[in-house]
Structure 1
Amino acid sequence: MIAPMKTTATSTDVARLANVSQSAVSRTFTPGASVSEQTRQRVMEAARKLGYRPNAHARSLITKRSRIIGLVLSHLENLFYPAALERLARRLQHDGYHVLLFISDNQNSDELVQEILQYHVDGIVLAATTLSSVLAQRCADAAIPVVLFNRVMAAGSPATVSSVRSDNMAGGRLVARHLCEAGYKRIAYIAGQEESSTNLERERGFREGLAERGQRIWARGVGNYDQQQAAEVARQMFGSAERPDSVFVASDHMAFAVMDVLRHELGLRVPQDVGLVGFDNVPQAAWPSYALTTFEQPLGPMVEATADLLQRHLQEEGRTRCENVVVPGQLVLRNTTRPRAPPAR
């Protein structure tokens, strides 16, 4: 005897059993859609009895929306970005989206973005990386919003991509002001990736802040946001008697490596011999073993601004004007810099 084929319950079957319209069933299983609690309970109970599961692919063919956001991250070894990934994913999931994660190894993510577009995503978030003007225009033509997180497009690029970042220039100026007011005179800078927008803005603000107080960068090295490279810069910069008395490092990730070299390899005291400031305020910066003075990138507000931009662009189907959101941060004073010097009498 041949067993009868098992039929799959449809939304029509659920609507009939729950005694509601088929559109009510659809709204029940559409994140963010309006449906009364009584109707939702009736639909869910009918779906449970029938073994009904909504077909996300079929729904996307009808709505023309996949409810998938492509998320590209770089520099995952930097503890700022895993924290950003978790918060972004949670916020997007709360909004009813699924996250498709890709990891980039460089500053330009064109190849990955071209791959992401094959999945018919609703939007794209790029963190610590960017894309070319040509591909940005392709996304705009396809009405797929792109938001850069903690980056901006290069100067002169078409205004087709939105961005969210902390106030890097203000952060650099605050660091300069603090080091000058603490009495440091030979102030160094260890840069991140030379051409990244984060480094360019932080260094510009830092230079301007020093100039306002009649100072300049006394020594400079490039760590490329990499701990090993930053450690080697520290060995060369501080390995002689004619060394800086303080240093601003363009990320906490590098600053930890610099501090380890100063204290454990070169035998220097922080902050008595060398003042040290980082940038990001990752959770580990507050650990007693580091207690790092740093500029805090406001991760929560940055994530909220990113999700809000995506939502607005999606609701307007790409017609929303692109925006560049700058979120203010704050300088967090801990134990790696001296307190403000008393005024001269």
Structure 2
Amino acid sequence: MRSVTSIDVAKLAGVSQSAVSRAFSSSASISDRTRQKVLAAAAALGYRPNRIPSIMLSGRSCMVGVVIGGLDNPFYASALERLAIALRQAELQVLLVQVDDALTLDTALDQLASYRIDAIVTSLAVGSKSVADALSELQTPVICFNSSLVGPWISTVVSNNYGAGQTAAGIFLKQGVTNPVWLAGPAKNAASRARAEGFCDTLKRASGHSGALIKLRGDDTYQSGYNAVRRLLQRGVRPDGIFSSNDMMACGVLDALRERGELHCPDDVIVVGYDNIPQAAWHGYDLTSFDQRTDQMVAVAMDMLDTALQTVDHPYSETRLINAQLIERGSTRPGN
């Protein structure tokens, strides 16, 4: 069956072929009456405009590459959903690029270079200076979440991870924690490192704090948090405060404490997480956490994207900081 063309639409609508092209362009000059005639004829024929010619002429595809990874963590899934909605409302098409590494853009570089996209938006971070340089060479605007590295053409929206770490330490100090534990994510997770710095620096500066900080490491998964604390308890260590780099690991921590039965949260040990995923509010966890305010991060990212697309001939780079919101729940409320 022959495909319907703009010539067919023009004949049915009684207009020129150029009028059909203008009717499907948001910036072209055309009367409302003519546009409606064209749209009615297109609907009757089942016509869909071919975007390739306009892409070739303008060099713009109106496609944004969205790089995703780590969707087993509800935080990334939520960020992706909000981002996709915002891009659709901005009349931009989404090209999804999935990577196995949930932390950095490094593994997506070759795929990104092979597509004609107007910009890249991702909740992943730039993992190294060499990757930042390679991305800059694409001369395509890149908007990241929680990346410590930027460069020409690369911008980032950053949760105030250091400040949140300071706030977590303040909770521990206020509640008299003497054997604190920091449960870190993977070493290359820049956001986790910043949370650790804020937490550790504040504890070290606190006068009269004599407890030695115990440092554990997980891989941001539930099981790694569970295993890390289970091994700690098996060694006979009795922490009275645990700050986890993310909520997934913190949920594992709470289950390990519950299963072992030696320490009870929050009377014996308080627990703080990060991300405020839906599970944090479940009655079985009731976890105090930091909300990264994904809605605001996405709004800022879209504003940065708009600026980048308007200055596409010049390298645009910016970093904006969003303060995380502390959500206090039962895991830090002894005596409840």
Q: Give TM-score scaled by structure 1 length.
A: 0.86
1:145 has 2:138 as partner: no
Which of residues 224, 231, 234 in structure 1 aligns to 2:226?
231
CA change 1:236–1:146 in 2 (3 A) is same
C-alpha distance in 2, partners of 1:263/1:35?
A: 68
1:305 has 2:300 as partner: yes
**Residue in 2 that maps onto 1:114:** 110
**Residue in 1 that maps onto 2:204:** 211
**Residue in 2 that maps onto 1:337:** 332
C-alpha distance in 2, partners of 1:174/1:32?
A: 49
CA change 1:306–1:20 in 2 (3 A) is farther
Deviation of the 1:231 alpha carbon: 1.4
Deviation of the 1:250 alpha carbon: 0.4
C-alpha distance in 2, partners of 1:136/1:318?
A: 19
C-alpha distance in 2, partners of 1:33/1:248?
A: 56
What secondary structure sits across from 1:42 in the alignment? helix
**Residue in 2 that maps onto 1:343:** none
Deviation of the 1:85 alpha carbon: 0.8
**Residue in 2 that maps onto 1:95:** 90
1:185 has 2:208 as partner: no
**Residue in 1 that maps onto 2:193:** 200
CA change 1:318–1:162 in 2 (3 A) is farther
CA change 1:64–1:183 in 2 (3 A) is same
Residue correspondence of structure 1 range 150-189 to structure 2 within 5 A: 150-153=146-149, 158-189=151-182
**Residue in 1 that maps onto 2:50:** 55
| 1:152-200 C-alpha deviation (Å, 9 max, x unpaired) | 21xxx64441111211011111111112112222111100112321011
Residue correspondence of structure 1 range 281-320 to structure 2 within 5 A: 281-319=276-314
CA change 1:267–1:50 in 2 (3 A) is same
C-alpha distance in 2, partners of 1:58/1:257?
A: 53
C-alpha distance in 2, partners of 1:303/1:36?
A: 36
Contact 1:293/1:334 (<8 A) preserved: yes
CA change 1:85–1:7 in 2 (3 A) is closer
CA change 1:338–1:49 in 2 (3 A) is closer
Contact 2:267/2:334 (<8 A) preserved: no
Contact 1:192/1:225 (<8 A) preserved: yes
Larger displacement relative to structure 2 (11-20 or 329-338): 11-20
1:104 has 2:127 as partner: no
CA change 1:203–1:47 in 2 (3 A) is same
C-alpha distance in 2, partners of 1:308/1:11?
A: 39
**Residue in 2 that maps onto 1:22:** 18
Deviation of the 1:15 alpha carbon: 8.8
Q: Give TM-score scaled by structure 2 length.
A: 0.88
Counterpart residue type for residue 164 of structure 2: G
What secondary structure sits across from 1:336 in the alignment? helix
Deviation of the 1:325 alpha carbon: 1.2
Which of residues 123, 128, 139 in structure 2 aligns to 1:127?
123
Residue correspondence of structure 1 range 240-255 to structure 2 within 5 A: 240-255=235-250
